[in-house]
Chain A
């Protein structure tokens, strides 16, 4: 079965199989050298832009702001959950999230 992934309400949240899974306003620690100058960005998620799956990993690209250095920008692909037995399972987003900068690596399908 395929998983339905969508960004809805003007980028407010990620929908997985018609339920709301991840919302804006979360604060993420990103290992994202391309995003800002900080070793680890401390980024407020303001808008979801795009979603896709890479293997079983659900990823998103977002617009956000690093609250340490003030950089406002668009990220590469960030893992937010996994599909396990057809169900979405959250990745612990309190920990450090590693960003894939190469946008080609993730397949944007769903």
Chain B
């Protein structure tokens, strides 16, 4: 039997949701019929609006899906202005204030506290400047990810940006692909660094060479069925297909149609294509694609460049794109660290100014929740690096600041178990003050996810932290499971969960002890990932060694039972009424 969600989707879905959304915005939130709320909130996701959690009724998270994280000149300013004007609500965040934007692990932007009545104005403003929330959530093609500096990067095998733009234009709003069984996450990477993180997407195109009529041609190998969610992480599987750039759209459309027709619509937990690949195997996926979904002969896979991958691998160069890097055209791109991806609206606006003053006005977003200012001429570089804003959003951050990623958590998210972003800021600050990594270790990735959905991509970090609970002195407190040694690269590896349910106030001490053990017991020059790989789970569990320190955690209680964890009166009874029409 199809699920309720499938029934709602078969009634109204895709582009047509917009007119209803605008009608409700006009007539007021309370005019959504009582017995249709679940259905409409599910549908609104397709237009990038996700109802915030229990206690925050009537407020929405709005996701802006930027293809490949590219914000064209002027667009970041629009984001900043919208955040400043509309992303304010009844709760104030003690670290980030009243209005802010979140850069996400899929190169998108999230705003919070959005009211339905403001949506038409916001859409009008965004669309005037080429931005959209269309398909940013919901069961369809999400924003395509990749190496954010595609087209500019010196390390590029092939320029993926035209391919991504073409896919984005083709599959945004395409009725044939707008109602899939589940989300559809695509990555297209043209650089040899692996920064598109294809392995954790539903569909990945990765640079590869193929000999065609005696010539080496550059195109893409295809992998299918990656994803991290729900204790069922998978790396995308090699389906033995190479495709030339001009055929990417045919193959991508074929696979999306294959998913549309064969994905499980009766069980949403089993719907992602990763499960279909489990069931069928890569070979059957290839055969079905060939027989039913493309009208030309597929090539077998070409020679990839996975051995050169460095991004998020836990060793070697370029684990992220932070810092000053030369572009192909001799200008520079400068990656700035945004701790946990959150930036106050004022800072967003100031960054937009700086990007215009020193670069082309363009800004790009990475999958490590950071921003990149592109097109800075060498002559402007020193002045740019002197700007005050870069003290806070540094191109040369401490490893703990640089390596931190955190998801949304109990502040806004329904699925969450624990507080995340503010906690990760507190952790990073404490670690920076109190812990030294071995001198030759410049990067150390710590990813914190509030639940198993894994939005912060915890399984591919040096240290993975995942929301749990435990009892401490009889009291229920927020806790974290600790995983170690994950990373991407030629041979990607998910973190191994070695220590369970560490009370949150003992996590910094646990990490300090872990890093001490690593510093003591590592072989010369050994990376943390390699160190983890040669120890068994029990040994690692001992290294973790939770301990109270002078770190204090103000959010030990069940932050999910509050209407907003940082409110003075945080009890559910004190929750604000749904915003009235204004």
Contact = CB atoms under 8 A, between A and B. Distances in A.
Interface of A: 4, 6, 8-13, 15, 17-20, 23-25, 27, 42, 44, 46-47, 49, 65, 67-68, 70, 72
A11 B468 contact: no
A65 B231 CA distance: 12
B500 A70 contact: yes
Nearest to A8: B38
B365 interface: no
A24 B417 contact: yes
Given A18-B37, A20-B54, 8 more contacts: A8-B38, A11-B269, A17-B35, A18-B36, A24-B416, A25-B469, A25-B558, A67-B479
Contacts of B288: none
A19 B37 contact: yes
Contacts of A47: 230, 452
B452 A67 contact: no
B471 interface: yes
A24 B415 contact: yes
A65 B468 contact: yes
A11 B415 CA distance: 8
A6 B4 contact: yes
A11 B469 CA distance: 18
A67 B470 contact: yes
Nearest to B268: A10
Given A17-B34, A67-B501, A27 B469 contact: yes
A46 B417 CA distance: 8
B38 A6 contact: yes
Contacts of B415: 9-12, 24
B58 to A, nearest CB: 12
Contacts of B35: 4, 17-18
B38 A67 contact: no
Nearest to B470: A67
Contact of A67 (B5, B469, B561): B469
B414 interface: yes
A28 to B, nearest CB: 11
Contacts of A8: 5, 38, 42
Contacts of A27: 469, 476, 558
A25 B4 contact: no
A88 to B, nearest CB: 13
B234 interface: no
B560 interface: yes
A44 B470 CA distance: 9
B71 interface: no
Contacts of B355: none
B453 interface: yes
A27 B452 CA distance: 17
21 contacts: A4-B35, A4-B38, A8-B5, A9-B414, A10-B268, A10-B269, A12-B415, A15-B38, A18-B34, A18-B35, A20-B54, A23-B560, A25-B558, A25-B560, A25-B561, A46-B451, A49-B269, A65-B468, A70-B500, A70-B501, A72-B231
B142 interface: no
Interface in B257-277: 268-269
Contacts of B479: 67
B237 interface: no
Contacts of A42: 471
A23 B469 contact: no
Contacts of A70: 500-501
B529 interface: no
B436 to A, nearest CB: 33
Interface string B529-567: 000000000000000000000000000001011000000
A68 to B, nearest CB: 8
Contacts of B54: 13, 20, 23
Interface string B462-476: 000000111100001
Q: Which residue, of B416, B469, B500, has the highest number of chain A Cβ atoms within 10 A?
A: B469
B43 interface: no
B177 interface: no
Interface in B437-475: 451-453, 468-471
A47 B414 CA distance: 11
B229 to A, nearest CB: 8
Interface in B51-73: 53-54
B53 A18 contact: no
A94 B229 CA distance: 29
Contact of B453 (A10, A13, A15): A10
Nearest to B53: A23
Contacts of A10: 229-230, 268-269, 415, 453
Contact of B416 (A17, A25, A72): A25
Contacts of B230: 10, 47
Q: 3 smallest A-B Cβ distances: which pairs?
A: A12-B414, A25-B560, A18-B37
A47 B230 CA distance: 9
Contacts of B37: 18-19
A41 to B, nearest CB: 13
A26 to B, nearest CB: 8
A25 B466 CA distance: 13
Interface in B399-447: 410, 414-418
Contacts of A72: 231
Interface in B22-41: 34-38
Contacts of B231: 72
Nearest to A19: B37
A24 B53 CA distance: 11
A85 to B, nearest CB: 17
